[in-house]
Amino acid sequence: MKAFIFLLQILWHFMIFAVLTILTQIGGIAWLVALFFKRRIIAFLGIYFVSSLGAIFLAPHFGRQALPCFSNENLVVASPLYCVLNRTYVTPEMAGVAGDLAERMATEFPGTQTRVLDASFPFWDGFPLIPHLSHDDGEKLDIAFYYQNDQMASPIGYWGFEDGPTQCPDVWPTLRWDMAWLAPFMRDTVFDETRTRAALLQLSQDPRVSKILLEPHLETRLGVRSNKIRFQGCRAARHDDHIHFQL
């Protein structure tokens, strides 16, 4: 019986380790260290906070940098959640692309803030930022759509879908979720076609950007044409709630 309880405990801690690692990269290790302390939760919070802060200074050795979490300039992180979960890291080149986009948007449309969503974790290439399997090297970034009252449809930037016709069949398994159950919690916002189109044009003209992911119905609706703008396929997450671009 004792051995069984011990086994369950190990399994339980492994689950916590896995979930924290998947969500935050360094949270899992912070949990393992916290196990050596009596007040585990407090120890975890302290260790996690310190290691997250440390990551900001260590990440440049791994070729990454954190996007600005405490900024009210042109480029902002859409929700503190991304900062708390260490999901705002990009290569210096990607930081340059994002900064230039935000600056251009603010020049063309004064007062405009460009909001970044998921980027990558601070360390190691090939460590995916689930559910975005390709965000594993700091060279991919998601940004929120632009909205007329400057408020995102969704508090986190994802899942406020601008619905439209699709050729994709409704089959499982797929990451092509519609999150319909979340719809009642979405804010009543108006999608800003002009600024979203301008951002897509700017990105497609940036020689450092190799690929932009967007749903075909939005490409048609916005009238943007570029060989860099692609459809992600029917099995991957939809791209009519945010813009994905990569180097």
**Residue with the CB atom nearest Zn ion in the bound state:** 244
Cα angle 132, 126, 179 (rounded to 5 degrees) comes to 10
Torsion sign (Cα): 156, 154, 231, 200: negative
Give CA–CA dist 45/39, Å, rounded: 10
CA distances from residue 204 to 102, 141, 145, 210, 234 in whole angstroms, order as listed = 14, 14, 16, 8, 23
Of the pair 142, 240, the CB lying nearest Zn ion is at 142
Distance of alpha carbon 75 from the chain centroid: 14
Give residues in contact with Zn ion (CB under 5 A): 132, 142, 244
Q: How far is the CB of 142 from Zn ion (least distance, A)?
A: 4
Q: How far is the CB of 113 from Zn ion (least distance, A)?
A: 19
Of the pair 137, 142, the CB lying nearest Zn ion is at 142
Q: How far is the CB of 243 from Zn ion (least distance, A)?
A: 8
Q: How far is the CB of 148 from Zn ion (least distance, A)?
A: 24
Of the pair 11, 133, the CB lying nearest Zn ion is at 133
Q: How far is the CB of 242 from Zn ion (least distance, A)?
A: 7
Of the pair 238, 244, the CB lying nearest Zn ion is at 244
For residue 143, report the phi and psi dihedrals to the nearest 5 degrees: -125, 155
Tell me if residue 80 falls in helix, strand or coil. helix
* Beta strand spans in 14-166 (E): 65-66, 75-77, 89-90, 114-116, 140-144
Of the pair 54, 131, the CB lying nearest Zn ion is at 131
